[in-house]
Amino acid sequence: MLVDVIGLSRTDILLRKDDTLSESSVLRLSKYLDQLKSNKPLQYVLGYTWFSGLKFLVDENVLIPRPETEELIEWISSHPDSYRYSHLISPVSVVDIGAGSGCIAISLKNKFPESAVHAIDISKKAIDVARKNAELNFAEITFHEGDILSSDFQKSIFEKFDIIVSNPPYIRLAEMNNMSERVTMNEPHVALFVEDADPLIFYRSIADFAKTHLNRDGKLYFEINANLGKEVKDLLEESGFKNVELKKDMSGNDRLLMATGLPVQLIN
């Protein structure tokens, strides 16, 4: 908060710890502290956060980007020579499903500046935030408002992609009681939770989308519920995807998943 209010780095703040704050800075900090005491996340208090080296505006209409999702970005960018055809050094086309703040789509555009990047979200308010973030980070993104669970919406997307990536809702409602109230009271439930009876609903729908929208040897990437890694892996293998790989996050939990697209004769 001090970095935001007085515009100095953390190091400078330590070096100048005996400086007296202006009255306006004290007032602003006081307002911030009141919001924090009401259980509002710091990122929403400030109105922004940092992700993958970029600044992103955030509010209650979008999830706060997590470090695990940064790991997903790094994993995707570590495979630059494996997309579509071996002579390509980067993917030609990318789509992020459930874009939220746009942190995944914009970060991938930053990693692969020559790629055409698309972003899909059901929430118009989330897309509005993501558009602002695209402008803030000078990223050209094509946005689509729609429900990936709808077959009609899926058919309305005519592009095919080298990368399909998603961090969809995956927390079961039964798990809500184990979560911080700071999350459950502030962040959008539509982006977090799924019904206990069908926790894989988004993975199943996105896998169906990938069958018709993923280029030959394209890559499908997911962030997943750590308790459902085997189930998501089995789902993709049963759907015909190849080389399905689970990856643990920095905490040792099954959190990321990658699969290779279906043979060309099955997707055309």
Tens digit of pLDDT for each residue in 204-263?
999 999 999 998 888 999 999 999 999 999 999 999 999 999 999 999 999 999 999 865
**The model's pTM:** 0.91
What is the percentage of the chain residues whose pLDDT exceeds 70? 93
* 220: CB partners within 8 A, 6+ apart: 163, 164, 165, 206, 207, 210, 214, 236, 241, 258, 259, 260, 261
Q: Where is 209: in which H helix or E strand?
A: helix 201-213
| Rounded CA separation 45/23 (Å) | 20
Q: pLDDT of 99-124, one tens digit each?
A: 999 999 999 999 999 899 999 999 99
Instruction: Supply the pLDDT for residue 91.
Output: 72
Instruction: Supply the pLDDT for residue 264.
Output: 45
Instruction: Supply the pLDDT for residue 196.
Output: 94
| Rounded CA separation 98/122 (Å) | 7
- pLDDT reading at 84 higher than 80: no
The arithmetic mean of pLDDT across residues 171-177, rounded, is 93
Strand-strand pairing, 214-223 and 254-260: antiparallel
Instruction: Supply the pLDDT for residue 194.
Output: 96
